[in-house]
Amino acid sequence: MTKHEPRATADQNLVYGGKPIRRRGGLLNLTTMWRATGRLPGCHPAEWLTQPETKRFIRHLRTTVPATHAAMIADIAGLTSIRHIDPDFLLVRTHGRKRGTWAHWQIALTYAKVLDPTFHAWCNDVVRDKLDHAGGPLTTAVPFMPDRLEHQLGRLHDRFDVVDRHAADIMFLATAAQELLLGNRRPFSDRSQAVMCKVLAMPPFLGRCPCCHTRSVLSPDRKPLLGAQFDHFFHRGLNRPELGWLVCRDCHDDISRGGYMMRFSRMPEFRMFQTAVLSFMQAQFRSTK
């Protein structure tokens, strides 16, 4: 076996000059290619991918990529510690102990050209040969894709759960800090109440509770119905119109008795109402200029 003769490992790796080049189906690891050719200055994948010619090639490849999304997803799903995936599944970045940049084999062969002429010729022969002998670059075991995706999605859900817990804790701490700083309850002024009622009378609310979207909170003359409550969403001392909302009695009771976790769960509905209030106030300001 000569110095640059390739050999495959159990996980589809190749070896060039005694250095491993990681491969998975139609993906090759650009970082290991750079290391195998001597870590040339200015040629690191992160630098090469920012060059105008590289960007032009990838833009072209996005319109003519010779791969089905199912096959590329199958290759990607087998990776671990994924940090970023290109929208067209042409580039993947991983983190952790095996951090690096993975790329579609056509991008990898183009990258090999800038690293070293000998290495480029070797890639043209060996990489294409390996892909062809495997039945083509897109023959990764697609039937196993659901299992791999399930594993990756499970890891992703775990991360989202952690984010949710942290966000809830942060909101609790922020509420506690506001309690210390702001002190007593400040009721909404007549003007703030009027702004909320005007916003609620318009689409998409049309007089309905912005929290549950089912019960009415406004009368036909845009007055709060009996039982509807002006609720301070963040803190009882914050009384600007964009910091509260008019909700039905049931929603107010649920939010008040459910604690900060219940209030946090209503954040998407409140953000929708808050955006409408801010847009209304901005439009009013522009009309007076």
**In this predicted model, what pLDDT tens digit does every residue of 154-182 receive, in sequence order?**
666 666 666 665 665 566 556 556 555 55
Residues 6+ apart with CB under 8 A from 87: none
Which segment of 39-43, 80-84, 116-120, 193-197 scores lowest on mean pLDDT? 80-84
Give this prediction's pTM. Answer: 0.47
Q: What beta strand segments (E) does 30-162 contain?
A: 82-85, 91-94, 100-104
pLDDT of 107 > 90? The answer is: yes
Integer angstrom CA distances of residue 9 from 14, 72, 96, 240: 7, 21, 22, 65
38: left (phi over 0), alpha (psi -120 to 50) or beta: left
Alpha carbons 124 and 57: distance in angstroms, whole number:
18
Q: What is the pLDDT of residues 171-229, one digit of tens each?
A: 655 655 655 555 567 889 999 999 999 999 999 999 999 999 999 999 999 999 999 99
Which segment of 50-54, 74-78, 152-156 scores lowest on mean pLDDT? 152-156
